Amino acid sequence: MPHLDNDGILVRVGRKIVIMRKQSSMTQAELARKLHARTEDVAKMEKGLYKLKLGTLLKIAQVFGKKLEVKVIKGKRRI
């Protein structure tokens, strides 16, 4: 059963993962190996169907040489 993402946050994060992966000329399988995950899981992440844990987000950021910034904002949610 897919995770409910009422705010679209997982979808937006997934789109960012796709952009970074493609800019790095990396396949889903290559990213999966770097994350010690299955290719199917990376595909789900990119579609917003995978409930990402903070540790996974940190690994993704490290793979792409990015810094992970988490903001807690009262009211309207942003990413």
Is it the case that residue 1 has pLDDT exceeding 60?
Answer: no
* Structural domains in the chain, sorted by start: 1-79 (1.10.260.40)
Report whether 67 contacts 61 (CB < 8 A): yes
Q: Which of 55, 40, 41, 45 is nearest to 19 (CA)?
A: 45
pLDDT single digits (tens) 15-57: 999 999 999 999 999 999 999 999 999 999 999 999 999 999 9
**Exposed/middle/buried for residue 65 (C-beta within 10 Å: 0-12, 13-18, 19+):** exposed
Low-confidence winner among 9-13, 39-43, 62-66 (lowest mean pLDDT): 9-13
pTM of the model: 0.82
